[in-house]
Amino acid sequence: MLNSIGLQNPGVEYFMQYDLPWLKNQNVAVIVNACGSTIEDYVELCKILNKADIDGVELNLSCPNVKAGCLAFGTTYEGVKEVTSQVRKVLDKPLIVKLTPNVTDITLPAKGAEDAGADAVSLINTLLGMSININTRKPYLANNTGGLSGPAVKPVAVRMVYQVSQAVNIPILGMGGIINGDDAIEFMLAGASAVSIGAGNFIDPYTSVNTVKGIEEYMKNNNIDKIEDIVGKVQMN
């Protein structure tokens, strides 16, 4: 999927008043994805979220489906460290930093997040992509480029999760093209402590449920008692 839908939403006040109460009744952990256009935006937003009854914040420092803003923060060690450290000063809750794959060396932003006090990193966000209508000779997306997600990005995501797992000591939330249990196990072997499913839900609303079943089946077939026993256990050639 190639998307450029942006990050429009009703805002944090609306979320806290209307959405959060419903989420709290679902007996699930609530982790809020936070994004801004400036460091001040991130800090102000996280000040508000720090008072909310939530379980954590995922700091979105990578969004290639918007024209400007947070993408610039996520591409360098210094940029990630700066915004993360400023947010860490006002946020007492668990902090996950979401990283962009559109960099030369993914380990540098990951180290920036760790050094600034992040509790975990999540990767990867979408790859920057483009598609052109050959009849009009114009890009299909009004924004010209957008974020590529789904199974096509999985090999890139697995590779980056492995690289980051060798560079940092904080947990990794792996994502990028997961649609079944085998995909999830692959990410965990590469070093992810947990996984997330996005585009797969558009293919099948039961993707997450079936992925959990697939993980359980793999563990039974391989006599694995704890999921931690496979995290980072890839055997390189």
Three-state SS annotation for the chain: CEECCCCCCCCHHHHHHHHHHHHHCCCCCCEEEECCCCHHHHHHHHHHHCCCCCCEEEEECCCCCCCCCHHHCCCCHHHHHHHHHHHHCCCCCCEEEECCCCCCCCHHHHHHHHHCCCCEEEECCCEEECCEECCCCEECCCCCCEEECCHHHHHHHHHHHHHHHCCCCCCEEEECCCCCHHHHHHHHHHCCCEEECCCHHHHCCCHHHHHHHHHHHHHHHCCCCCHHHCCCCCCCC
Q: What residues are annotated to the active site?
A: 63
